[in-house]
Structures are given as C-alpha cells and as structure tokens.
C-alpha cells in the first residue's frame, strides 16, 4: 500500500503559497477599488465645489439686481428668493422660504385671480408654465405691494430636474410702475393740451367770426384787443372766408375795438392788401371819433381802405355796388 502525502511539508507549502497569492490578489483589487473610489470622490468634490461656486455666482448676481428673482415649486412655495424681492416685502429671504404668496401677504385676488377684474392670478400663470413646459411673458403683471398697485414686466420659466421632470418655476419681475405712470401722465398731458388747443381755436373762431350777409359780401366784426397772434388769425380767417364765399367785398367792423395803435392799423392794412390780391375790396367800418383821432395822431396810412362810420352804412354801400 502507498502512503498519502497530503499532510507532507511540500503540500502544506503549496497551500500556503496559494493562500498568499489569493490574499495579494484581493488586496490588489481592494487597492484598485479604493483608488477608483478616491478618484470618484475627488471628481464629486470638484463638481460640488464647482456647483457651490456657480451657486454663489448666481446668488451674487440675483442679489445685486433691482428686479425680483425667485423660484417656486409645484405647491407654489418659495424655494429661492433674491434680496430685492425680500426687501420689497420688508422681509429676510430666509423667512420667505417654504411659504406661499398668500402667507407672504399678497391679496387673494392677486394670487388666485379675479375674473371680474380681469386678473388671472399668480398661481394660474405658474400652473400654465409647469404644465406646458413653455416660458410665459406677462407684459402687464399687476400686484398690490404695501397697499399700492405695482405693474411688472414678468417672465416665468419652467425648472426641470435631472430626469427632465418639471418641479418648479423661475420668475423674474421688472417693476415698470414708474414708466407706466410717466406714460399715463404724458398721455393725459397731451389730451389736456389738445383740449386747450381746441378750446383756443373755438375761442379764436368766435372772437373773429366771418359772416356772409349777401351774395359776395362778408362781414368780420372785430372785438377787443388785437395782438400779433390774433392779427394773424384775422388775416387767415378773412382770406379763407373770401375764397369760400367768393366775396368781392369784405367789411372789417372795428366798433368793438376801443383802443387802436400802430400795430392794429398795420394789421388792417395788411389784411386789405392781401384781400385785394384776391380781387376783393375791403371796407373799414365802425370808426368812432376817438379812434379816428388816434389814427390821425399815429399817422396811420389807411388809403388802401374804404371807410364808413358804421357797419350799416358799410353794408348799404356794398349792396349798392352790386346793383
């Protein structure tokens, strides 16, 4: 019979060597895994540092612009708020996190909408963005802040996680209240100026009317003071009326002019000369004794004008010429 050598020194040596090789292999595998884990941890640390720096940059940017910047989740609760928004609500940004618009003090009609006022509401706009996945621009977004109505140009953008699921909305609000008020004030000012201009035109028309009294005969009664602007108006009205009524005779009645000077006299002469270029004779009526003396005293040259003491005499003269 042959004796077994399983327990011989040679066999034990071989087994020991195999165990050592297996142990060395496992140690090598463990070292490689540890190296890979260390590399992954370093990559994650670098990414975390990069994300932290990026978040710091975004926070610095958001906190140093005057516009409101904030993030809300699907439950309309705030997850990020910039400094400008918090200051407007007289709060600290951290105190706003986790709260919704109602809890921050916005009126319910601003938040949930009011169809009678034509207000959709913040939450309806938020839901539209999160459900559609499309940005929303609101040129006139109205919100009541500290009891005063403000107007914002608002942009709302959907926010997605790593699986492309929409979890919230990013909102940027630019306050355009001052610009809107300035535009409204300018519009009202323009309307006011237009109304004044129309009233002034009506007054000028009433103060310098042109009245047709017979075929080819018109009368312009002049009342009050005649300054440069009104003198121009008299000229324009007279020439327009002459063309409109095809007048061959125009009577300028100055019965209502109590004071006459060189400027008024010159205006009357210019009117007569312009009318004559259109083939129309101008008759000056209503000259009182006091006005006649003044005209002589100032040396006014009215030779281009026919004159009569009263409007009735002037009209009678013009009608006789028609026969």
Residue extents of the structural domains in the chain? 65-175, 209-322
Listing from the earlier edge strand, what are the strands of the sheet with 68-73? Answer: 78-81, 68-73, 166-175, 148-160, 136-145
Tell me whether domains 65-175 and 209-322 share a fold: no
Residues 90-117 have a mean pLDDT of 92
Q: Compute the distance between CA of residue 9 and CA of residue 7 in angstroms, rounded to an integer.
A: 7
Say if CB 273 and CB 304 are below 8 A apart.
yes
Point out the least confidently predicted range of 58-67, 159-168, 247-256: 58-67
pLDDT of residue 139: 92
pLDDT of residue 33: 77
Task: Classify burial at 141, counting beta carbons within 10 Å of its beta carbon; exposed 0-12, middle 13-18, buried 19 or more.
Answer: buried
Say if CB 144 and CB 102 are below 8 A apart.
no
Pick left, alpha or beta for residue 196 (phi over 0 → left; psi -120 to 50 → alpha; otherwise beta).
Answer: alpha
Q: Kindly tell me if the per-residue pLDDT of 9 is higher than 70.
A: no
Q: Which residue has the tokens 């002459």?
A: 242
Q: Compute the distance between CA of residue 154 and CA of residue 174 in angstroms, rounded to an integer.
A: 6
Q: Tell me: the pLDDT tens digits for 200-222?
A: 666 555 567 888 988 899 999 88
**Average pLDDT in the chain:** 83
- Cα 4 vs. chain centroid, distance in angstroms? 106
Best CA proximity match to 70, nearest among 167, 151, 172: 172
CATH annotation of 209-322: 3.30.750.24
Structure confidence at residue 251 as a pLDDT band (50, 70, 90):
very high
Point out the least confidently predicted range of 37-51, 79-93, 182-196: 37-51
Say if CB 309 and CB 287 are below 8 A apart.
yes
CATH architecture of 65-175: 2-Layer Sandwich (3.30)
Backbone angles phi, psi at 285, to 5 degrees: -125, 170
Structure confidence at residue 291 as a pLDDT band (50, 70, 90):
confident
pLDDT of residue 84: 92
4 or 312, greater pLDDT: 312
Best CA proximity match to 213, nearest among 285, 266, 268: 285
pLDDT of residue 64: 80
Structure confidence at residue 1 as a pLDDT band (50, 70, 90):
very low
How large a percentage of the chain has pLDDT more than 90?
33
pLDDT of residue 34: 72
């Amino acid at each position: 019979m042959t004796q077994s050598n399983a327990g011989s020194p040679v066999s034990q040596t071989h087994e020991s060597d195999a165990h050592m090789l297996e142990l060395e292999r496992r140690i090598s595998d463990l070292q490689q895994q540890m190296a890979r884990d260390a590399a992954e941890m370093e990559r994650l640390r670098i990414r975390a540092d990069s994300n932290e720096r990026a978040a710091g940059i975004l926070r610095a940017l958001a906190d140093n612009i005057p516009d409101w910047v904030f993030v809300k989740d699907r439950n309309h609760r705030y997850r990020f708020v910039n400094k400008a928004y918090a200051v407007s609500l007289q709060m600290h940004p951290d105190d706003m996190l986790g709260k919704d618009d109602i809890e921050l003090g916005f009126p319910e009609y601003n938040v949930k909408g009011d169809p009678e006022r034509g207000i959709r509401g913040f939450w309806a706009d938020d839901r539209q963005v999160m459900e559609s996945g499309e940005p929303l621009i609101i040129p006139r977004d109205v919100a009541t802040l500290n009891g005063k109505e403000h107007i914002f140009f608002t942009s709302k953008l959907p926010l997605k996680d790593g699986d492309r699921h929409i979890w919230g909305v990013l909102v940027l609000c630019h306050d355009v209240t001052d610009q809107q008020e300035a535009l409204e004030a300018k519009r009202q000012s323009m309307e006011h100026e237009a109304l004044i201009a129309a009233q002034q035109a009506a007054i000028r028309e009433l103060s310098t009317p042109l009245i047709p009294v017979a075929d080819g005969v018109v009368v312009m009664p002049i009342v009050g003071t005649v300054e440069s602007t009104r003198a121009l108006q008299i000229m324009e009205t007279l020439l327009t009326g002459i063309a409109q009524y095809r007048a061959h005779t125009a009577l300028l009645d100055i019965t209502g002019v109590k004071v006459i000077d060189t400027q008024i006299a010159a205006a009357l002469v210019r009117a007569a000369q312009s009318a004559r270029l259109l083939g129309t004779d101008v008759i000056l009526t209503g000259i009182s004794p006091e006005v006649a003396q003044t005209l002589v005293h100032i040396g006014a040259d009215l030779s281009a004008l026919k004159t009569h003491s009263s409007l009735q005499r002037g009209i009678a003269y013009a009608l006789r010429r028609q026969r």
